[in-house]
Chain A
Amino acid sequence: SQTIHQWPATLVQPVGSPLSLECTVEGTSNPNLYWYRQAAGRGLQLLFYSVGIGQISSEVPQNLSASRPQDRQFILSSKKLLLSDSGFYLCAGSMTANEKLFFGSGTQLSVL
């Protein structure tokens, strides 16, 4: 079965510092991959999705970027964090022919 590894579980970073969150997939190949964020009191918001290596679609303009250097690796980055980047970040995956999503356990990011 498919598994997503996401780390760290919690992260506290100062404003202006860089960010790199990594997500890796096991148990399948060529998945669609997603980064979601949940800000306090709001729903999960799709940030990026990727259908393959080097292919990234951005859903909302923001201070973040994503990359997919390998089939099973999806990275969320920022050069300079803002206070508004605080939130819960969730990596997810799916197979094209199957709507079922599988999820990582999430990263709670606090920018101070």
Chain B
Amino acid sequence: GDSVTQMEGPVTLSEEAFLTINCTYTATGYPSLFWYVQYPGEGLQLLLKATKADDKGSNKGFEATYRKETTSFHLEKGSVQVSDSAVYFCALSDRGDSSYKLIFGSGTRLLVRP
């Protein structure tokens, strides 16, 4: 079945460092891909998404490009801030009937130090 694999955490960076969180997926069809973020004490929030190959999702300085040839959707940010400390989840959607399902990776905790 469909699955998502994320790099193990935690990832610890200094402020203004470059961030990459790797995500690869396995899917039989043409899924949409997502990054969700969970800040401490809050629920999951959609960070960005891409719905087809070569699409680039971006939000709050984060970017991820849908790479069909490598089945990847790596999350990047050029300069992280302390406020970016959170858990990041890569996910894909599998549409069926009148609803759809999200399949998540295991999450990667990011800790940004001042």
Contacts A94-B100, A96-B98; A43 near B43 (Cβ below 8 A)? no
**Which of B32, B36, B41, B99 counts the most A-chain CB atoms under 10 A from its CB?**
B99
Looking at chain A's contact residues, the main secondary structure is strand
A46 touches B103 (CB 8 A): yes
Whether A42 contacts B101 by the Cβ 8 Å rule is no
The answer, yes or no, to whether A87 is at the interface (CB within 8 Å) is no
From A43, A51, A92, B98 is in contact (CB under 8 Å) with A51
Give the docked Cα–Cα distance between A96 and B97 (Å).
10
- Whether, in the assembled complex, A90 has its beta carbon less than 8 Å from a beta carbon of chain B, the answer is yes
A: number of interface residues (CB 8 Å): 25
What's the interface size class on B, roughly? 20 to 34
Question: Counting CB contacts under 8 A, is A36 at the interface?
Answer: yes
Proximity string of chain A (17-44) to chain B, C-beta cutoff 8 Å, 1 when within and 0 when not? 0000000000000001010101001111
Q: Please tell me if the beta carbons of A43 and B104 are within 8 angstroms of each other in the complex.
A: yes
Tell me whether B57 is interfacial, beta carbon within 8 Å.
no
Per-position contact with B for A44-74: 1 when CB-CB < 8 Å, else 0?
A: 1110010100000001000000000000000
Interface positions, chain B 82-114, Cβ under 8 Å from A, are 89, 91, 93, 97-107
CB-CB under 8 A from B104, the residues of chain A are 36, 38, 43-45
